[in-house]
Amino acid sequence: DAGVIQSPRHEVTEMGQEVTLRCKPISGHNSLFWYRQTMMRGLELLIYFNNNVPIDDSGMPEDRFSAKMPNASFSTLKIQPSEPRDSAVYFCASSFELNEQFFGPGTRLTVL
């Protein structure tokens, strides 16, 4: 298995632009998680899905952030419009039930 796949690996954009991050979880996993990591705030859970259904989005910062999981093998995290304070590394992770999570390599987002 290729593990959790994220794209792009790096994204540099200007304030106000729309940003879409993509994730392909490990086949057979039924939970998918989006995290954000910064030096100041550490690793924060933004949202997680179970069986493609959003279960907990309490970590989503504000309405500019949205996430979808149209099927078991794909999820997106969208920021519109982006702001410099959104600059961070965004990780996607997947798991089967309440077991270990497998993390993707992350997307390093820089908003200028």
Partner 1 sequence: SQQGEEDPQALSIQEGENATMNCSYKTSINNLQWYRQNSGRGLVHLILIRSNEREKHSGRLRVTLDTSKKSSSLLITASRAADTASYFCATGLTGGGNKLTFGTGTQLKVEL
- Interface contacts to partner 1, rule CB under 8 A: 4, 31, 33, 35, 42-43, 45, 48, 50, 55-56, 91, 93, 95, 97-106
What is the smallest separation between the CB atom of 50 and partner 1, expressed in angstroms? Answer: 6
Closer to partner 1 at the Cβ: 81 or 102? 102
Q: How far is the CB of 104 from partner 1 (least distance, A)?
A: 6
Cβ(91)–Cβ(106) under 8 Å?
A: yes
Q: In this complex, which beta carbon is closest to partner 1, that of residue 14 or of residue 56?
A: 56
Burial annotation 59-74 (CB, 10 A radius, 16+ → b, else e): ebeeeebebebeebee
Task: Give whichever of 28 and 42 is closer to partner 1, judged by the CB atom.
Answer: 42
d(CA 100, CA 19): 29
Least spacing, CB of residue 107 vs partner 1, in Å: 10
The structure tokens listed for 25 are 């979880």
Which residue from 72, 75, 17, 24 is spatially nearest to 47, judged by alpha carbons? 75
Nearer to partner 1, 31 or 75 (CB): 31
